[in-house]
Amino acid sequence: MIPLSWYLYLAAGLFALGLFGAVARRNAVAILMSVELMLNAVNINLVAFWRYLAPAEIGGQVFAIMVFAVAAAEVAVGLALIISIYRGRKTVAADEINLMKW
Amino acid sequence: MTVEQGIFLFIGFVILFSAFMMVTRSNLIHAALYLVLVLFGVAVLFVLLDAGFLAVVQIIVYIGAIAILMIFAVMLTRGNVTGEAISMNSVFGWGLLLCSLFGFALIIMLGQWPGAAALAPALPANWNEVSELGVALVSPQGYVIPFEVASVLLLAALIGAIVVARPPQKDE
């Protein structure tokens, strides 16, 4: 039997790695990938809490499905933005996209 | 150590190792392939948690759609991307500090929480995950409003992505 804490520790580590990627990577596509890591860590937590604390309520899995839907929408719009920026400025490095910097 | 624990430890190691490689590789195609490995490991975790339907959805939606979309985006924005000399921005040291502090704080707080040692209770008798989930998603007592809002969100994101990514038209 696996204790609940193992899943929570793993999700915490995965979230911290994803946060590091989102903060430190230069490439905008890599930043989006790191955001996916964080969403996956949250999903692990949601499903683990459903299984360990409320297995009779299906709500935990419904939450995870909502996270899937939001992640798909986020990736579609984010990649469209990146491709649009690349078409105009020929770069996807996040520190060179400074058009709106004051 | 039971078989489940062994599988969990192996998969957890694969997930954390692949996630570390993903955020540190400068070749984005390699990073995307490591991302696929992470997503697959998470699907295995869902199976361990008795959420088989979510594991299938994870593989279809994340690996089949999102990761492939990422690889397409990497290929469409090539040039200065792969083989890029510096893959981290200038403040990545601060990012490293912030994320280690954040991760250690999470782990310390988890260690102090008494409920973390809980073991999984048995599932209810005659548990049918797919039918429970399907009924909950369309029943008015369940989650029909979030379900419909999510479908509108996906439609809006689809149209928005097409509009944003379309090349500028001549007559506009």
- Of A91, A83, A11, A26, nearest in space to B92 by CA: A26
The DSSP call for residue B116 is G
Yes or no, beta carbons of A32 and B38 under 8 Å apart: no
In a domain, B88, yes or no: no
Q: Residue A88: is it exposed, middle or buried by C-beta count within 10 angstroms (0-12/13-18/19+)?
A: exposed
Mean pLDDT of A83-91: 85
Residue B163 resides in a domain: yes
Write the pLDDT tens digit of every residue in B4-28. Answer: 899 999 999 999 999 999 988 888 8
Within a domain: B25: yes
- B61 with B137, same domain? no
pLDDT tens readout for residues A18-58:
999 999 888 888 999 999 999 999 999 999 999 998 888 88
Please check whether residue B3 lies inside any domain of the structure: yes
> Is B117 within the bounds of a domain?
no
Q: Does A25 touch chain B (CB under 8 A)?
A: yes
| Segments forming the whole domain that contains residue B7 | 1-83
Under the banding of pLDDT at 50, 70 and 90, the label for residue B125 is confident
Residues B74 and B6 both lie in one domain: yes
User: Is A9's CB within 8 Å of B69's CB?
Assistant: no
Amino acid B158 reads: L
Quote the number of domains for chain B: 2
Asked if B102 is an interface residue toward chain A (Cβ–Cβ < 8 A), one would say: yes
The pLDDT of B151-162, averaged and rounded, is: 94
Does the distance separating the beta carbons of B158 and A92 come in below 8 Å? no
Q: Are residues B77 and B140 in the same domain?
A: no
pLDDT higher than threshold 90 for residue B86: no
Looking at B83, B109, B140, the residue that finishes a domain is: B83
Q: How many residues does this entry show for chain A?
A: 102
